[in-house]
């Protein structure tokens, strides 16, 4: 039996105690007999306990003592220890005897304390763990961030490298295409020059000055042709490298246009002429005169080149809000419908012009120049009827 049992008379005197009780409280055999029950309690509880005991005697019932609070008992040597107590009672010869069953719960309390401490420790650990996880997660996240940034940058670099490689390849394509077209296009003017010079030498002997003049003129125009092809190539090269910059200046448009018309007269076919029409209110404008001249020269020379002799070319300029609108209309051979959508592509030439010299670069360059001016270009054409090119760009004045 591990429970101590103390039997108490209703006046509080201990009648007897079992050996376990004696041992728990540190008394020798039978030493408790005749002692007061309150001797087994710390001083601070003694007074109250007398009342409790008398309350129990008035309505005795078997029950546990001190439910919900810790009970403390006193050993003989004055030390205190935790206990659990159940009460019961009996009547012997008309006398009430109360029995207290007492367990020393010191060990249990120690175990409970330890458990509580280790639970608390566990909570502390958990909190620490959570903190650690959080800080590791933060480190991990920032590492991931760095990695993502690096990946992004590498992708960007790769993209850029690929793009510049592509550009380089395109430029190379362009150059080789150019060389093949140039050598082809150079052949005709060069052979004209060669044969004209041979003829000049012949006519020199005969002193046929008219013929000599005719052939010097041929040489001159062939050289001009070569120069113009070379100029186109140079323009394209500069455009491709992004080296062309718009240089704005104030120009007198009517003067610029009549200069161009004058210049183009040299290359017009027999009986061809240019009808110039400028809206009267247009005078000084701000733009890049070299670029504008180049665009107009290209379009006008096409209009002449792809028209018969004696045809008229119309050049008109009108102001359309803040835009200047140029139109170049010819009565020439027109552009086949199926070719129209490629017209601004590099080196593209329509199917109906194979008998006429050209590199197919002019319009591509024109389009890029119009782009540089912040403008747009379009055309309308009907085969064997004529073509109208229109371009417009914004001007300040």
Ligand X SMILES: Nc1ncnc2c1ncn2[C@@H]1O[C@H](COP(=O)(O)OP(=O)(O)OP(=O)(O)O)[C@@H](O)[C@H]1O
Helix (H) or strand (E) holding 389: strand 386-394
Among all chains, which residue has been given the structure tokens 């290209």? 298
> Residue 267 burial (CB < 10 Å; 0-12/13-18/19+)?
middle
Contact indicator for 81, 106 with CB cutoff of 8 Å: yes
Q: 3-state class of 319 per DSSP?
A: strand
Q: Cβ of 43: how many Cβ atoms within 10 Å?
A: 8
Contact partner, 291, from ligand X, Mg ion, none, Cβ < 5-8 Å per class:
none
Q: Which stretch binds ligand X (CB under 6 A): 4-12, 166-174, 207-215, 351-359?
A: 351-359
Q: Which of 22, 39, 21 is nearest to 31 (CA)?
A: 22
Tell me the C-alpha distance between 163 and 104, whole Å. 88
Q: 3-state class of 61 per DSSP?
A: coil
332 touching Mg ion, by CB under 5 A: no
360 touching Mg ion, by CB under 5 A: no
Q: Which stretch binds ligand X (CB under 6 A): 7-15, 39-47, 238-246, 360-368?
A: 360-368
358 touching ligand X, by CB under 6 A: yes
Q: Cβ of 287: how many Cβ atoms within 10 Å?
A: 23
Q: Which of 185, 171, 297 is nearest to 243 (CA)?
A: 171
362 touching Mg ion, by CB under 5 A: yes
Judged by beta carbon, residue 215 or residue 346, the one nearer ligand X is 346
Tell me the C-alpha distance between 339 and 304, whole Å. 19
To the nearest whole angstrom, how small is the minimum distance from the Cβ of residue 299 to ligand X? 7
Taking CB under 6 A as the criterion, the residue among 22, 104, 232, 288 binding ligand X is 232
Q: 3-state class of 150 per DSSP?
A: helix
Residues forming beta bridges with residue 312, ordered by sequence position = 273
Tell me the C-alpha distance between 160 and 84, whole Å. 84
To the nearest whole angstrom, how small is the minimum distance from the Cβ of residue 223 to ligand X? 15
Of 108-137, binders to ligand X (CB under 6 A) are none
Contact partner, 375, from Mg ion, ligand X, none, Cβ < 5-8 Å per class:
none
Among all chains, which residue has been given the structure tokens 């055309």? 379
Judged by beta carbon, residue 4 or residue 334, the one nearer Mg ion is 334
Taking CB under 6 A as the criterion, the residue among 350, 373, 377, 395 binding ligand X is 350
Among all chains, which residue has been given the structure tokens 């001016």? 373
Residues forming beta bridges with residue 14, ordered by sequence position = 8
Query: Rounded to the nearest 5°, which phi and psi values hold at 362?
Result: -50, -55
21 touching ligand X, by CB under 6 A: no
Query: Rounded to the nearest 5°, which phi and psi values hold at 378?
Result: -150, 175
To the nearest whole angstrom, how small is the minimum distance from the Cβ of residue 336 to ligand X? 8
Site string for Mg ion, 281-320 (x = CB under 5 A): ---------------------x------------------
353 touching ligand X, by CB under 6 A: yes
Taking CB under 6 A as the criterion, the residue among 236, 349, 391, 392 binding ligand X is 349
To the nearest whole angstrom, how small is the minimum distance from the Cβ of residue 215 to ligand X? 24
Tell me the C-alpha distance between 67 and 88, whole Å. 15
Contact partner, 350, from Mg ion, ligand X, none, Cβ < 5-8 Å per class:
ligand X
Residues forming beta bridges with residue 326, ordered by sequence position = 317, 391
To the nearest whole angstrom, how small is the minimum distance from the Cβ of residue 361 to ligand X? 4
Contact partner, 4, from Mg ion, ligand X, none, Cβ < 5-8 Å per class:
none
Q: Which stretch binds Mg ion (CB under 5 A): 131-139, 202-210, 361-369, 375-383?
A: 361-369
Of 281-340, binders to ligand X (CB under 6 A) are 302-303, 306, 330, 332-335
To the nearest whole angstrom, how small is the minimum distance from the Cβ of residue 142 to ligand X? 57
Contact partner, 333, from Mg ion, ligand X, none, Cβ < 5-8 Å per class:
ligand X
Which residues would be at the binding site for ligand X (CB under 6 A)?
232, 302-303, 306, 330, 332-335, 343, 348-350, 353, 358-364, 387
For binding to Mg ion (CB under 5 A), which residues are involved?
Answer: 302, 362
């Amino acid at each position: 039996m591990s429970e101590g049992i103390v039997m108490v008379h209703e006046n509080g005197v201990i009648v007897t105690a079992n050996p376990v009780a004696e041992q728990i409280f540190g008394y020798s055999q039978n030493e408790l007999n005749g002692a007061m029950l309150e001797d087994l309690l710390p001083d601070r509880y003694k007074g109250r306990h007398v009342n409790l005991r008398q309350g129990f005697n008035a309505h005795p019932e078997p029950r546990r003592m001190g439910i919900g609070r810790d009970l403390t008992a006193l050993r003989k040597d004055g030390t205190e220890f935790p206990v659990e107590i159940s009460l019961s009672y009996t009547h012997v010869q008309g006398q009430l005897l109360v029995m207290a069953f007492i367990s020393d719960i010191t060990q249990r309390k120690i175990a409970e304390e330890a458990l509580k401490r280790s639970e608390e420790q566990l909570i502390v650990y958990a909190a620490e763990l959570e903190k650690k996880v959080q800080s590791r997660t933060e480190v991990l996240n920032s590492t991931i961030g760095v990695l993502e940034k690096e990946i992004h940058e590498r992708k960007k670099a790769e993209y850029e490298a690929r793009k510049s490689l592509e550009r380089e390849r395109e430029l190379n394509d362009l150059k080789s295409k150019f060389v093949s077209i140039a050598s082809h296009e150079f052949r005709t003017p060069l052979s004209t020059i060669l044969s004209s010079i041979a003829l000049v030498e012949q006519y020199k002997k005969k002193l046929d000055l008219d013929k000599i003049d005719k052939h010097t003129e041929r040489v001159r125009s062939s050289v001009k042709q070569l120069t113009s092809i070379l100029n186109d190539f140079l323009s394209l090269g500069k455009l491709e490298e992004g080296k062309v910059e718009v240089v704005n200046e104030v120009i007198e448009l009517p003067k610029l246009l009549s200069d161009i018309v004058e210049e183009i007269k040299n290359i017009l076919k027999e009986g061809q002429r240019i009808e110039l029409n400028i809206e009267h209110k247009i005078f000084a404008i701000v733009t890049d005169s070299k670029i504008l001249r180049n665009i107009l020269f290209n379009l006008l020379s096409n209009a002449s080149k792809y028209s018969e002799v004696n045809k008229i070319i119309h050049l008109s300029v009108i102001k359309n809000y803040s835009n200047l609108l140029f139109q170049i209309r010819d009565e020439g051979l027109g552009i086949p419908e199926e070719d129209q959508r490629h017209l601004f592509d590099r080196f593209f030439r329509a199917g109906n012009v194979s008998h006429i010299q050209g590199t197919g670069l002019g319009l591509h360059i024109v389009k890029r120049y119009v782009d540089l001016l912040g403008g747009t270009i379009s055309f309308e054409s009907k085969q064997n009827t004529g073509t109208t090119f229109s371009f417009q760009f914004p001007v300040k004045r």
